[in-house]
Structures are given as C-alpha cells and as structure tokens.
Amino acid sequence: MKNSMNSILTLQDISISFGGIKAVNQLSLDVRNQEIFAIIGPNGAGKTTAFNIISGLYRAQAGSILFSGTDITNLLPHQIAHLGMGRTFQNLELFTLMSVEDNLMAARHMHTKTNFWNELIRNKKVKDEEEQNRKKVHEILSFLNLGEVANKKVTDLGFPIQKRVELGRALALEPKLLLLDEPAAGLNFVETAELSELIKSIRGDLGITVLLIEHDMSMVMSISDRIIVLDYGKEICLGVPEEIQNDARVVEAYLGKRDSHA
C-alpha cells in the first residue's frame, strides 16, 4: 500500500473488537498533508479506539495503516512517535511535579541521539545537544505563550494552561502529524476560541497536520477542513463542514443516542 499523493495518513479497512463489540469496523480514511481533519460521532462510536490504533497503543485485528510512507500497522507507540506522530490524551498525562520546561525537555529526550555512557561523561556533544533541545523547547513555549510559566510546577497551574503544556509536550517532538483527543474538553467558550486559533496556527505556522477528536461542534465546524463521522465503529459520513452539518445520517446518529453529550 502507498499513501496517495499528498496524504500523510492512510487507514485501510481497520477493525478491532472487544469481546463481541466491534469498536472499529472496517474503517478507511485518508488524512491529507497539512489539513485539519476531525473525527466526530456519538459516545462509544470508536473515536478514541481509532486514535489508539493509529498511535500504536492498540493493534488492529485487521487492516493496515500507512504513515508518511511507512507501514506502521505493527509498530509500537514509541516507534510511531519517532516517525513524527505526536499525541495528546483525553486525560492529561503530564509529570505534574516537574516544571513546564522540564516536561517538554523530557519529551525532547526521545530525540537525543547520544547514548548512556556519553550522557554519563557529559561530553561536549551531549552538552550541545542539550542546548539545542532547550532552545527548541523555549521556541515552543513562546509559540504557546507559556514563556512566563516555564519554571512553574505543572501542578500549580490552572487546567487550561496544563492543557496547553500537554500540547507543548506533543509539539516538543516536532511531529508531522498531531493527534488531539478532545482538546476543548473542560474549556470555557473563550478558552475554546483561543485553542481554535492555536490549532489553526499549529497547522498554518508550523505546517503540522492535525487530526482531532472533538465534541464541541462549533469548534469542529469552524476549524476543520474535513470531518469524518463515526457510529458503531463505522464511517457514516465524510465531507467538508457544510456537508456534515446538512447530512440527515449525522443528525440521526446523534439524536438516536439518548446519552450523547455532543
């Protein structure tokens, strides 16, 4: 399989079941370079499971995934991250007792080429690399407007800032593709608007492709180039925001669920 021209991520007939539940059922999709692509759908539609398969946390039981020209179907999460895929989680996964800067440095160390013995001797190469890492981290912190809290412990910061730190940690890996799992969850209207601008600038200024899961429909509709709607692990609709908004199958999927919070 090859990525079609201009696409960075291709899923072909991906499936996974848990017990009798087909959480993702023959899902195919193609994310183009530098687009903002959203996955939406009612609760339990299989969105996070799809993310877990793409990022290597779960192994698909069928189908294949190509990322930036490499077959990643059977790779492990750290191997996929090394190929240039960053990710944030629904629940923040930060080192809360470490500073903001050190959280990003920790992520950066995945990129460090020097080995343990060099590290021990702290030779010039190690020091140079450390300096470069710190420079990159400072660039990212200032891009995210986090410069002022760089030395603060994560635990001392408010939730919206912590969410931005998590974004910073994913960006520290200098990914080509960034997966965001419900980035607006827990944010108020103003914070969500700021986040939308930030995501657009991650794509526009940093040239990073963004794949996101989101329940905040106004955000999804305003920032996404294309949207796929899942229900019961399957695609029910794919298109630009206007097409999705006007599709009867989408309305049906959402209204059909009593407990959907979308």
Q: Least distance (Å) from ligand ATP to the CB of residue 51? A: 8
Q: Which is nearer to ligand ATP, 61 or 201 (CB)?
A: 61
Q: Least distance (Å) from ligand ATP to the CB of residue 212? A: 12
Q: Are 76 and 94 in contact (CB under 8 A)?
A: no
Question: Considering only residues 3, 7, 10, 48, which one is a binding residue for ligand ATP as defined by CB under 6 A?
Answer: 48
| Number of residues this chain uses to bind ligand ATP (CB under 6 A) | 11
Question: Considering only residues 1, 6, 13, 43, which one is a binding residue for ligand ATP as defined by CB under 6 A?
Answer: 43
Find the part of the chain contacting ligand ATP (CB under 6 A) among 43-51, 71-79, 100-108, 148-156: 43-51
Q: Is 18 in the site for ligand ATP (CB under 6 A)?
A: yes
Find the part of the chain contacting ligand ATP (CB under 6 A) among 39-47, 103-111, 171-179, 241-249: 39-47
Map the footprint of ligand ATP across residues 165-204, applying CB under 6 A. none
The residue count for the chain: 262
Q: Is 41 in the site for ligand ATP (CB under 6 A)?
A: yes
Task: Quote the crossing angle between the two packed helices 124-143 and 100-108, to the nearest 10°.
Answer: 120
Q: Is 239 in the site for ligand ATP (CB under 6 A)?
A: no
In this structure, what token pair is assigned to residue 2? 């090859």
Q: Least distance (Å) from ligand ATP to the CB of residue 48? A: 3
- Enumerate binding residues for ligand ATP (CB under 6 A): 18, 21, 23, 41, 43-49
